[in-house]
C-alpha cells in the first residue's frame, strides 16, 4: 500500500472533516482561555433575587450591603423571585422578613431572612455565609445605634458620625483574622496550576483516541479490511493515519503553551510531543481492543477521564493519594505533568512511549490475526 | 409479537452487546473515583464529620474560652466536627502531620484582649496538604465569620469615639455589646432559620458536581441506544422486513429498553452518591421520578438521533457533540447572567440542565416550583424527542416493507 498517498488522503480528510477537527479547535480556544485566566479570580455573575418585605428601613441597608458583594442581586416581588428561580433565571432568593427591622431594633436575630439556594453553581459555596455576615453587620449597627440613642445628649449628628465611621470599619480590616499555614512547610506550597496546558493534554488524548475510528469499521470498503486483505500491517497504517492528527495537536499546542507563560516552555513542548506520541500508542491499544465504534466512543471518554485524572492533569492529586502519582508512571500523562511541574521527565516519557508502542504493535497484530480469520 | 416480547428481545440485543452495555453502565466509576480522591480523607478520618480538627487555645480570657467551648460543643454535637483539645501547638501540629487531625486552630495568648483593646489579633490555622480541600473550605467559612466578628468589635470601639463617652460608660457599652455580638455569632445559623455556626450550605459545589455526573453518565449510557437504532437500518429491521404496523411496538420497545439501560447507570451511581454525600431518604422519592424521566428523555433522544442518520458514525458524532455542548453549557454558563437571549433560552429548555437541576436540588433541598418546572422541561423534551423520533423511525421502517 502506498503509505504516502494514504497519509496525504488522511491529511485532506482531516482538514475537511470539521466533525473531528472541531474537537481540537475547541480545545485550543478553551485552553487558551483557561491559560490566560489561570489563577485569576473569575468574575462571578450569579443571579440572586431579593424580596424585601421589611416594613422598616433596615432591610434597605441590608440590600445596600448585599449589592456590594460579588453577586448580581435584584430586588423583586416574591412571586417574581419564585418564578425566576423556578425557570433558572436566578440561582437563589433572599426573603427579608416583614419584621426584619422590628426584630433588629429589639436585638432579636432569629429567622430574619429566608435563603433559598439552588445548587446550580460552584460559586454558591460561601453565598449563605456572605448573606449571614452582612446581616450581622446590619444587626451590630442597629444594636449600637440603639445603645447610643439611649445616651443622654446623643443627637442625630453623632449618629451620622457613628454611621460614617462604622461604614469605614466594614470596608476596612478586621481586628481578628486567621493566618493559614500548612504543617509540613510552614507556608502555603506554591501551587502548580498551568491548567491550560494540562487540560489541552486531556483534550488531546480524547482526540487521538477518537481519531482511530477507522479501525472500528470492518465493512467491505473499510480501510481495515483492505489492509488485512493485502497483507499489510495495521500498526504501519495506524502510524500513517495518526501522523496528521498528531501534527495538528502539536500545532494547536503552541498558542496554548505561549498563553500559559510557562518558564520552561521548551521542555514542556518536548514533553508534550512525547506525550502525544505516547498517547497515540496507547490509543492504538484502545482502538485495537474496542472493536465497535460505539465502544471506542465510550472508552475514549472513560479512559481519557481516568488516565488524565490519575496522571494529575485534570487536577492536583492530594498527598494522601500519592500512590496514584507513583502508579500512574505507566501513563504518558504522568511524565508530561512532571515536565509541567519542572521535574525530570525525558527518560520516563521515552520508556513509556516505547512500552506503549510495543503493546500497541502486539494488540494490533492480534487484531489483524483475528480479523484475518473472519 | 406483543410489546413485551419486543421489549424482551430488544433488551437482549441492547445488553447483548456485552462490552458496550458494560462500558455504559460502568462509565461513572472513574468519575466517582475523582470525587473519592478528594473526599476520602473526610469520609475516612472524620468518621462522617466534615472536619476532624485539633484546637490549641492559649488565650485565658473567660469570654473567649466560653465562646470556643460553645462553638466546639455545638459542632461536635451536630456531628459536623470532631475536635480534640491540645495543650500546645507542637502536639497539635504533630497530630496534623500524623494524620490524626486534618487541621489545627491555634488561638495565641491575649487574642481576645488585643481585639478588645483595638489591636489586631491573628489566629493560626494549620492544615495538612492532603486535607487542602476540606480544610480550606472550612477555613474560608470560619475566617469570613471571624472577620465580621472582629469588625463588629471595631464598630463598638468607634461608637465610643463617636459618642465621646467616658471610660466607664464605654467599658459598659463594650461589655454589653460584645456579649450580645457573641450571642449572635454563636447562633449565626438561626439568622436564616437554620442551626449551626459555620459553613451553612458549604457543600453546594459538591451537590452540583454530583448532579452533573449523574446527568452526564446517563447521557453517555444512551449511546448504545443511539448506535443500535442506527444499526437497525442495515441490521435486524432490514433482515426481518418488519411491517410498518409493528414499527410502533418496535419503537417503544427500544425506548423502554434504552430507559432500562440508563436506569442501570443510575443504579451504579446512586449508592455511590449516597456514600459520598448523605442524601436524606425523604428526598429519594423526589429524585426517583426525575431519574425515570431523565432516562426516558435521554433514551428517546438517542432513538431520535439514531433514526436521523444513515450511518452510525455521524449519529454518534452528533450525540457526542450534543452531549459535550449540553455539558459545557451547564458546567460553565447556566449560572451566568448577561448571556445572549438565545443562549439563555437554550439553557432554560435544555433537558440536560433540567436533569442536573433536578438532581442537585431534589436530592438535597426541594424547591417544589423549580422541581415542577424542571420536570415539565424534561417531559416536554421527552414528548418532542419521542414524537420526532417516532416519525423518523417509522419512516425508515416503512422503507423496508
> Do B93 and B177 have their domain in common?
yes
Chain A within 8 Å of B60 (Cβ-Cβ)?
Answer: no
> Do A157 and A208 have their domain in common?
no
Nearest to B334 among A120, A129, A148 (CB): A120
> Do B226 and B326 have their domain in common?
yes
Average pLDDT over residues A320-346: 85
CA B385 centroid distance within chain: 27
Percent of chain B residues past pLDDT 90, beyond the cut: 10
Contact residues for A45 (Cβ-Cβ < 8 A; gap 6+): A71, A72, B335, B336, B337, B338
Beta carbons of B124 and A179 less than 8 Å apart: yes
Q: Quick one: pLDDT band at residue A157, thresholds 50, 70, 90?
A: confident
Q: What is the DSSP string of B285-300?
A: HHHHHHHHHHHHHHHH
pLDDT in tens, B323-345: 878 887 887 776 666 677 787 78
Is residue A188 one of the residues assigned to a domain? no
Chain A within 8 Å of B142 (Cβ-Cβ)?
Answer: yes
Work out the minimum CA distance from B294 to partner chain A, whole angstroms: 18
Is residue A89 one of the residues assigned to a domain? yes
Q: Quick one: pLDDT band at residue B400, thresholds 50, 70, 90?
A: very low
Alpha carbons A260 and A257: distance in angstroms, whole number: 5
Is residue A180 one of the residues assigned to a domain? no
> Do B171 and B236 have their domain in common?
no
C-alpha cell at B117: 483593646
pLDDT: is B271 or B101 the higher one? B101
A contact test, residue of B18, B91, B129 with most A CBs within 10 A:
B129
CA distances from B131 to A156, B51, B92, B99 (A): 51, 10, 15, 9
Domain at A138, CATH number: 3.40.1710
Alpha carbons B280 and B276: distance in angstroms, whole number: 13
Average pLDDT over residues A201-224: 77
Domain-terminating residue out of B192, B216, B249: B192
Tally of domains within chain A: 2
Pairing of strands A92-96, A47-52: parallel
Q: Quick one: pLDDT band at residue B181, thresholds 50, 70, 90?
A: confident
Is residue B21 one of the residues assigned to a domain? yes
Beta carbons of B23 and A45 less than 8 Å apart: no
Domain-terminating residue out of B137, B159, B192: B192
pLDDT: is A133 or B5 the higher one? A133
Chain B residues touching residue A126 (CB < 8 angstroms): 140-141, 144, 202
Lowest average pLDDT, out of A272-276, A292-296, B83-87, goes to A292-296
For A356: left if phi > 0, alpha if psi spans -120 to 50, otherwise beta; the answer is alpha
Q: What is the DSSP string of A115-154?
A: EEE----GGGTTHHHHHHHHHHHHHHHHHHHHHHHTSTT-
Torsion of CA A348, A353, A355, A361, to 10 degrees: 180
CA distances from B325 to A34, A120, B227, B346 (A): 17, 17, 19, 11
Average pLDDT over residues B249-275: 81
DSSP one-letter code for A99: T
Instruction: Kindly tell me if the per-residue pLDDT of B41 is higher than 70.
Output: no
> Do A61 and A128 have their domain in common?
yes
Is residue A125 one of the residues assigned to a domain? yes
Beta carbons of B370 and A117 less than 8 Å apart: no
Instruction: Kindly tell me if the per-residue pLDDT of A224 is higher than 80.
Output: no
pLDDT: is A203 or A332 the higher one? A332
Residue tagged 445616651 (cell numbers)? A151
Exposure letters A137-168 (e unless 16+ CB within 10 A, then b): bbbbbbbbbebbeeeeebeeebbebbeebbee
Beta carbons of A175 and B151 less than 8 Å apart: yes
Nearest to A139 among B23, B184, B321 (CB): B184
Query: What does the pLDDT read at residue A43?
Result: 43
Q: Quick one: pLDDT band at residue B385, thresholds 50, 70, 90?
A: very high
> Do A248 and A162 have their domain in common?
no
Cβ–Cβ < 8 Å for B50, B138: yes
Report which of B269, B358, B277 is spatially closest to residue B26, judged by C-alpha positions. B269
Chain A within 8 Å of B30 (Cβ-Cβ)?
Answer: yes
Query: What does the pLDDT read at residue B151?
Result: 85
Chain A residues touching residue B373 (CB < 8 angstroms): 86-88
A contact test, residue of B41, B156, B159 with most A CBs within 10 A:
B159
Chain B within 8 Å of A77 (Cβ-Cβ)?
Answer: no
Beta carbons of A130 and B144 less than 8 Å apart: yes
Half-sphere exposure in the Cβ direction for A245 (13 Å, CA): 31
Average pLDDT over residues B1-12: 74
Nearest to A319 among B111, B129, B156 (CB): B129
Instruction: Kindly tell me if the per-residue pLDDT of A149 is higher than 90.
Output: no
Does this model's pTM top 0.90? My answer is: no
Enclosing domain of residue B142: 51-192
pLDDT in tens, A90-102: 888 999 999 999 9
Query: What does the pLDDT read at residue A253?
Result: 92
Q: Quick one: pLDDT band at residue B57, thresholds 50, 70, 90?
A: confident
**Judged by CB atoms within 8 Å, which residues 316-345 of A form the interface with B?**
317-321, 324
Report which of B259, B214, B200, B258 is spatially closest to residue B358, judged by C-alpha positions. B214
Alpha helices in B78-203 (DSSP H): 89-97, 111-116, 132-163, 167-186
pLDDT: is B400 or B207 the higher one? B207
pLDDT in tens, A347-358: 999 999 999 999
> Do B344 and B254 have their domain in common?
yes
Average pLDDT over residues A155-160: 82
Cβ–Cβ < 8 Å for B107, B126: no
Is residue B306 one of the residues assigned to a domain? yes
Q: In what order do the strands lie in the sheet with A92-96?
A: A72-75, A47-52, A92-96, A113-117
pLDDT in tens, B199-244: 555 567 777 877 888 888 888 888 888 888 887 766 555 555 566 6
Chain A within 8 Å of B339 (Cβ-Cβ)?
Answer: no
C-alpha cell at B230: 442506527
Query: What does the pLDDT read at residue B267?
Result: 80
Query: What does the pLDDT read at residue B123?
Result: 86
Beta carbons of A319 and B126 less than 8 Å apart: no
pLDDT: is A248 or A23 the higher one? A248
C-alpha cell at B49: 464529620
3 state DSSP class of B78: coil
**Judged by CB atoms within 8 Å, which residues 183-242 of B form the interface with A?**
183-185, 187-193, 198-205, 207-209, 211, 220, 223-224, 226-227
> Do A368 and A232 have their domain in common?
yes
Chain A residues touching residue B224 (CB < 8 angstroms): 294, 298
Is residue B43 one of the residues assigned to a domain? no
Average pLDDT over residues A34-53: 70
pLDDT: is B399 or A266 the higher one? A266
Beta carbons of A123 and B334 less than 8 Å apart: no
Chain A within 8 Å of B20 (Cβ-Cβ)?
Answer: yes
Is residue B283 one of the residues assigned to a domain? yes
Query: What does the pLDDT read at residue B47?
Result: 45
Residue B311 phi/psi, 5-degree rounding, is -115, 150
Beta carbons of A144 and B147 less than 8 Å apart: no
Q: Quick one: pLDDT band at residue A82, thresholds 50, 70, 90?
A: very high
Q: Quick one: pLDDT band at residue B401, thresholds 50, 70, 90?
A: very low
Q: How many residues appear in chain A?
A: 374
> Do A337 and A206 have their domain in common?
yes
> Do B173 and B69 have their domain in common?
yes
Is residue B198 one of the residues assigned to a domain? no
Query: What does the pLDDT read at residue B278?
Result: 59
Is residue B197 one of the residues assigned to a domain? no
Chain A within 8 Å of B152 (Cβ-Cβ)?
Answer: yes
Domain-terminating residue out of B143, B171, B192: B192
Query: What does the pLDDT read at residue B292?
Result: 93
Alpha carbons B3 and A153: distance in angstroms, whole number: 89
Is residue B233 one of the residues assigned to a domain? yes
Query: What does the pLDDT read at residue B119?
Result: 80
Instruction: Kindly tell me if the per-residue pLDDT of A238 is higher than 80.
Output: yes
Chain B within 8 Å of A132 (Cβ-Cβ)?
Answer: yes
Instruction: For residue B142, give the chain A residue with the closest CA.
Output: A178
Q: In what order do the strands lie in the sheet with A176-182?
A: A176-182, B121-127, B103-107, B51-57, B81-85
Query: What does the pLDDT read at residue A274?
Result: 95
A&B contacts, CB < 8 Å: 340
> Do A252 and A333 have their domain in common?
yes
Percent of chain A residues past pLDDT 70, beyond the cut: 89
Alpha carbons B356 and B242: distance in angstroms, whole number: 38
- Helix B132-163 to helix B167-186 angle (10° resolution) is 150
Cβ–Cβ < 8 Å for A69, A45: no
Mean pLDDT of chain A: 82
Nearest to B158 among A19, A165, A309 (CB): A165
Cβ–Cβ < 8 Å for B191, A136: yes
Query: What does the pLDDT read at residue B299?
Result: 94
> Do A197 and A337 have their domain in common?
yes
C-alpha cell at B207: 451537590
Is residue A251 one of the residues assigned to a domain? yes
Is residue B271 one of the residues assigned to a domain? yes
> Do B16 and B55 have their domain in common?
no
Alpha carbons A273 and A239: distance in angstroms, whole number: 15
Chain B residues touching residue A166 (CB < 8 angstroms): 155, 158-159
Nearest to B360 among A120, A151, A309 (CB): A120
Instruction: Kindly tell me if the per-residue pLDDT of A162 is higher than 90.
Output: no
> Do A348 and A269 have their domain in common?
yes
Instruction: Kindly tell me if the per-residue pLDDT of B157 is higher than 70.
Output: yes
Report which of B276, B258, B254, B248 is spatially closest to residue B34, judged by C-alpha positions. B276
Chain B within 8 Å of A88 (Cβ-Cβ)?
Answer: yes
Nearest to A136 among B131, B152, B205 (CB): B152
Domain at B100, CATH number: 3.40.1710
Chain A residues touching residue B152 (CB < 8 angstroms): 136-137, 140
Cβ–Cβ < 8 Å for A140, B155: yes
Q: How many residues appear in chain B?
A: 401
Instruction: For residue A83, give the chain B residue with the closest CA.
Output: B369
Instruction: Kindly tell me if the per-residue pLDDT of B301 is higher than 50.
Output: yes
Enclosing domain of residue A129: 47-170
> Do A31 and A53 have their domain in common?
no
Cβ–Cβ < 8 Å for A349, A275: yes
Average pLDDT over residues B138-142: 72
Average pLDDT over residues B54-83: 75
Percent of chain B residues past pLDDT 70, beyond the cut: 75
pLDDT in tens, B78-117: 666 778 888 888 888 888 888 778 788 888 888 888 877 7
Alpha carbons A235 and A229: distance in angstroms, whole number: 15
> Do B176 and B258 have their domain in common?
no
> Do B186 and B223 have their domain in common?
no
Average pLDDT over residues B182-199: 76
> Do A53 and A33 have their domain in common?
no
> Do B349 and B319 have their domain in common?
yes
> Do B31 and B60 have their domain in common?
no
Tally of domains within chain B: 2
> Do A206 and A344 have their domain in common?
yes
Residue A179 phi/psi, 5-degree rounding, is -95, 135
Beta carbons of B190 and A139 less than 8 Å apart: no
Residue tagged 507563560 (cell numbers)? A261
> Do B119 and B215 have their domain in common?
no
> Do A198 and A344 have their domain in common?
yes
Mean pLDDT of chain B: 77
> Do B187 and B79 have their domain in common?
yes
Amino acid at each position: 500500500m502506498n503509505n504516502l498517498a494514504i497519509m496525504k488522503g488522511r491529511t485532506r480528510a482531516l482538514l475537511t472533516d470539521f466533525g473531528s477537527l472541531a474537537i481540537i479547535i475547541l480545545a485550543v480556544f478553551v485552553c487558551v482561555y483557561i491559560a490566560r485566566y489561570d489563577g485569576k479570580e473569575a468574575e462571578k455573575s450569579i443571579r440572586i433575587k431579593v424580596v424585601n418585605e421589611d416594613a422598616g428601613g433596615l432591610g434597605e441597608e441590608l440590600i445596600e450591603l448585599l449589592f456590594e458583594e460579588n453577586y448580581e442581586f435584584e430586588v423583586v416581588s416574591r412571586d417574581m423571585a419564585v418564578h425566576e428561580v423556578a425557570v433558572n433565571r436566578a440561582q437563589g432568593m433572599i426573603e427579608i422578613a416583614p419584621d426584619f427591622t422590628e426584630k433588629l431594633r429589639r436585638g432579636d436575630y432569629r429567622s430574619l431572612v429566608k435563603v433559598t439556594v439552588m445548587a446550580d453553581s460552584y460559586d454558591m459555596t460561601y453565598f449563605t455565609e456572605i448573606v449571614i455576615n452582612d446581616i450581622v453587620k446590619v444587626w451590630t449597627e442597629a444594636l449600637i445605634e440603639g445603645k447610643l440613642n439611649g445616651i443622654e445628649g446623643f443627637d442625630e449628628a453623632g449618629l451620622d458620625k457613628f454611621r460614617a465611621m462604622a461604614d469605614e470599619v466594614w470596608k476596612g480590616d478586621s481586628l481578628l483574622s486567621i493566618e493559614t499555614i500548612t504543617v509540613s512547610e510552614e507556608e502555603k506550597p506554591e501551587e502548580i496550576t498551568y491548567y491550560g496546558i494540562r487540560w489541552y493534554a486531556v483534550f488531546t488524548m480524547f482526540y487521538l483516541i477518537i481519531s482511530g475510528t477507522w479501525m472500528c469499521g470492518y465493512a467491505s470498503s473499510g480501510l481495515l479490511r483492505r489492509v488485512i486483505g493485502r497483507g499489510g500491517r495495521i500498526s504501519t497504517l495506524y502510524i500513517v493515519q495518526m501522523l496528521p492528527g498528531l501534527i495538528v495537536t502539536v500545532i494547536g499546542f503552541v498558542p496554548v503553551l505561549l498563553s500559559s507563560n510557562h518558564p520552561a516552555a521548551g521542555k514542556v513542548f518536548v514533553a508534550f510531543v512525547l506525550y502525544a506520541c505516547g498517547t497515540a500508542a496507547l490509543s492504538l491499544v484502545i482502538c485495537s481492543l474496542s472493536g465497535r465504534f460505539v465502544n471506542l466512543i465510550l472508552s475514549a471518554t472513560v479512559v481519557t477521564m481516568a488516565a488524565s485524572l490519575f496522571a494529575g492533569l485534570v487536577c492536583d492529586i492530594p498527598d494522601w493519594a500519592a500512590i496514584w502519582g507513583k502508579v500512574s508512571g505507566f501513563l504518558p500523562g504522568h511524565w508530561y505533568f512532571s515536565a509541567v511541574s519542572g521535574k525530570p521527565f525525558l527518560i520516563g516519557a521515552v520508556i513509556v512511549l516505547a512500552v506503549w508502542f510495543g503493546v500497541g504493535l502486539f494488540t494490533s497484530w492480534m487484531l489483524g490475526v483475528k480479523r484475518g480469520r473472519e | 409479537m406483543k410489546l413485551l416480547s419486543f421489549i424482551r428481545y430488544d433488551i437482549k440485543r441492547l445488553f447483548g452487546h456485552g462490552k458496550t452495555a458494560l462500558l455504559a453502565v460502568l462509565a461513572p466509576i472513574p468519575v466517582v473515583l475523582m470525587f473519592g480522591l478528594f473526599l476520602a480523607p473526610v469520609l475516612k478520618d472524620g468518621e462522617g464529620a466534615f472536619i476532624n480538627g485539633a484546637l490549641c487555645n492559649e488565650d485565658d480570657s473567660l469570654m473567649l474560652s466560653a465562646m470556643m467551648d460553645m462553638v466546639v460543643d455545638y459542632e461536635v454535637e451536630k456531628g459536623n466536627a470532631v475536635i480534640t483539645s491540645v495543650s500546645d501547638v507542637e502536639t497539635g501540629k504533630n497530630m496534623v502531620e500524623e494524620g490524626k487531625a486534618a487541621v489545627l486552630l491555634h488561638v495565641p495568648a491575649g487574642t481576645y484582649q488585643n481585639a478588645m483593646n483595638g489591636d489586631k489579633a491573628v489566629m493560626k490555622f494549620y492544615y495538612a496538604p492532603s486535607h487542602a480541600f476540606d480544610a480550606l473550605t472550612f477555613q474560608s467559612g470560619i475566617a469570613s465569620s471571624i472577620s465580621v466578628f472582629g469588625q463588629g468589635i471595631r464598630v463598638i470601639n468607634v461608637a465610643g469615639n463617636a459618642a465621646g463617652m467616658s471610660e466607664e460608660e464605654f467599658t459598659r457599652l463594650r461589655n454589653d455589646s460584645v456579649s450580645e455580638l457573641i450571642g449572635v455569632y454563636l447562633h449565626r445559623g438561626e439568622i436564616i432559620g437554620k442551626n449551626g455556626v459555620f459553613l451553612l450550605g458549604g457543600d453546594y459545589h459538591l451537590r452540583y458536581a454530583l448532579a452533573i455526573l449523574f446527568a452526564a453518565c446517563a447521557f453517555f449510557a444512551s449511546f448504545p441506544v443511539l448506535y443500535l437504532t442506527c444499526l437497525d437500518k442495515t441490521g435486524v429491521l432490514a433482515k426481518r422486513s418488519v411491517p410498518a404496523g409493528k414499527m410502533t411496538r418496535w419503537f417503544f420497545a427500544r425506548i423502554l429498553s434504552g430507559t432500562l439501560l440508563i436506569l442501570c447507570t443510575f443504579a451504579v451511581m446512586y449508592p455511590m452518591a449516597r456514600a459520598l454525600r448523605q442524601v436524606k431518604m425523604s428526598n429519594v422519592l423526589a429524585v426517583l421520578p426525575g431519574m425515570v424521566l431523565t432516562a426516558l428523555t435521554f433514551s428517546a433522544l438517542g432513538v431520535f438521533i439514531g433514526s436521523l442518520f444513515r450511518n452510525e458514525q455521524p449519529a454518534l458524532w452528533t450525540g457526542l457533540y450534543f452531549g459535550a455542548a449540553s455539558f459545557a453549557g451547564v458546567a460553565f454558563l447556566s449560572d451566568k447572567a448577561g448571556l445572549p437571549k438565545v443562549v439563555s433560552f437554550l439553557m432554560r429548555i435544555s433537558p440536560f440542565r433540567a436533569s442536573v437541576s433536578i438532581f442537585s436540588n431534589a436530592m438535597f433541598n426541594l424547591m417544589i416550583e423549580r422541581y415542577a418546572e424542571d420536570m415539565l422541561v424534561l417531559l416536554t423534551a421527552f414528548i418532542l424527542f419521542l414524537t420526532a423520533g417516532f416519525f423518523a423511525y417509522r419512516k425508515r421502517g416503512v422503507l423496508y416493507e
